[in-house]
Structure 1
Amino acid sequence: MHDRPAPLILTGRTVAEYHWRPHLPAALSPRPYLHPVRTLGGTTVTEATPPDHPHHLGASLAIPDAGGTNFWGGRTYVRGKGPQPLPNHGTQTHHRWHTRTHTRLEHELHWTAPDGTLLLHEHRRITAHPIDQHAWALDFHYTLRNTTDRPLTISSPGAKGRTGAGYGGFFWRAPTTPATVHGPHATGTTRLHGATAPWLALTTSGDTPWTLILTDTAAHRDPWFVRARDYNGAGPALAWTTPLTAAPGHGPQRRIIAVIADGALTTRAIQGLADTVATSPAPREA
């Protein structure tokens, strides 16, 4: 079928599948997502539609509140009332391909409100490249542009008063297995949740250990949202405690590079890989 997931392939192995036109319930805020994402050894490091949070979709770009529309999925946090089931779920829809190869996916998307109003236009570029025989990099770049004639507010539960819940932006839901959170100068969610750092990593043990490193290439880094107890997930937060306002024709632009590796790497090895990808030039526009 024309809308089957687009694979990313390295050294003859499918390392990720990109669901660019998924068929999902409205309450999940339908959007393109990557799942499964695998190590070069074949271990899956994403989870999609888990029972605890069905709206978590592997690795995706999701925003809890953009102009009053929920592009995250699930309930909407309302100040003074808490999470509420509201009929305000938006949809990210594929508009046009720029490039579609086994190592590069570049396309335009439309972010629409439930009534069909176009709120945001996005240019997204996803590329994959090997680092060594044990690790590869997923380079995710996006540019959002407010298509309305008025300022558009991008917000989160954290920006509405819910402490520690400033999630929103690129988000990676990892398999629910015991994991340790690492940063350049700290370990554990207590010290890294809400912190700003050039990278954040999850490592696991067991029969098929893996390491996920997320690097934030922005000069002004977003705080990290990270969980590693009830579930494993992480991503840089666009509106941690303060809403972000996009003027007409403008919006946030970010580049996140994820390193997916076999094995439970040491902090020193993680730092080395993070340094390697952080200095890599962005792929040229197609």
Structure 2
Amino acid sequence: MTDTLVLRLDGRPVGRYVYRSALATDHAPRPYLHPVTTLGGTAVTELMPDDHPHHLGVGVAVPDVEGRNFWGGRTFVRDRGSVALDNHGAQRHQGFPMREPDAFVEDLYWTAGGTRLLHERRTLVARELAGQAWALDFTFALGNTTDAPLSIGSPATNGRPGAAYGGFFWRAPKEKEPPAVFTAHTEGETAVHESTADWVAFAGDGWTLVFAGADEATRRDPWFVRAAEYPGVGSSLAHARRTAIEAGATLTRRIVTVVADGRLDRGQAADLVRQAVRDE
């Protein structure tokens, strides 16, 4: 069974959200956005690509919550490498406390082995910006529903340098040439990866995505960036060390993504980020 909704701006569809799907368990079933499009209709997400079949458009994915894999695919184990384990969790849709054409609030449970580990309150808002651009405002709040601390990790914290993925993640379409990657002060995948820039831009063939941390906690998270191997951008919840969520506590992050037609330059990207990031 697949259940979906469509985000719209002035009646124009800009994103399809799949909140229930029949994905295989090795993909760590979870809600996702795909396709997401520019106002001109260009798709800027990819679903289940051959290089990483567990990449699902735009969403929240974490490879290690107390040893449970909510990312999909193999699990990186210290001193063993990437191993296929029967440890996949799932994000289960519970309901929409609020649902409008251009926004929704969703409740989910993160479950593994029949146990609820986290309750998530997810809020998505689509906003028009000046010119041929719009912004996706994506907030997720992960609340520990157990009676003990939960620890979030990544392949990096488990012994694989440079692989601190886990959190918000956007898989962009793979094209003939890798996208250009830049921030306000630097450019190139190597320079931008693991930085804590205020924003990161991806410029592809006729489209640009600009990702910005929209609160203090999110701005402290380093960026996870891939361009040459595959095009993907995310924030790192567990970069140098594991991140704990105490019993009854909540971890919240907010990322705003500018979705634009055309290839933006540094100045244009900065201007749109200023429009898009609004303190609530």
**Aligned residues of 2:214 and 2:279 also touching (Cα < 8 A):** no
Give the secondary-structure state (helix, strand or coil) at the position aligned to 1:160: coil
Could you tell me how far 1:42 is from its partner in structure 2? 0.0
Distance in 2 between the 1:182 and 1:53 partners? Answer: 24
- 2:210 pairs, out of 199, 210, 213, with 213
Give the secondary-structure state (helix, strand or coil) at the position aligned to 2:274: helix
Could you tell me how far 1:276 is from its partner in structure 2? 1.8
Distance in 2 between the 1:57 and 1:38 partners? Answer: 15
**Aligned residues of 1:40 and 1:133 also touching (Cα < 8 A):** no
1:281 aligns to what? 279
Structure 2 unaligned regions, length at least 5: none
2:76 aligns to what? 77
Give the aligned length.
276
1:272 aligns to what? 271
After TM superposition, where is structure 1 displaced by more than 4 Å over at least 4 residues in a row? none
1:185 aligns to what? 185
2:99 aligns to what? 100
2:62 aligns to what? 63
Task: Report Cα offsets for 1:98-130 as digits up to 9, x if no partner.
Answer: 1122111111100000x2100000001001011
Is 1:150 aligned to residue 148 of structure 2?
Answer: yes
Could you tell me how far 1:88 is from its partner in structure 2? 0.3
- 1:165 pairs, out of 141, 163, 166, with 163
Q: TM-score, normalised by structure 1?
A: 0.94
Distance in 1 between the 2:229 and 2:254 partners? Answer: 28
Is 1:241 aligned to residue 250 of structure 2?
Answer: no
Distance in 1 between the 2:138 and 2:90 partners? Answer: 19
Distance in 1 between the 2:89 and 2:194 partners? Answer: 26
Q: TM-score, normalised by structure 2?
A: 0.96
Give the secondary-structure state (helix, strand or coil) at the position aligned to 2:3: coil
2:119 aligns to what? 121
Distance in 2 between the 1:60 and 1:123 partners? Answer: 13
Structure 1 unaligned regions, length at least 5: none
Task: Report Cα offsets for 1:264-283 as digits up to 9, x if no partner.
Answer: 001110011112222x133x
Percent of residue pairs bearing the same amino acid type: 47
**Aligned residues of 2:181 and 2:200 also touching (Cα < 8 A):** yes
Kindly provide the amino acid, as one letter, of the partner of residue 57 in structure 2. Answer: G
Could you tell me how far 1:251 is from its partner in structure 2? 3.0
Distance in 2 between the 1:82 and 1:152 partners? Answer: 23
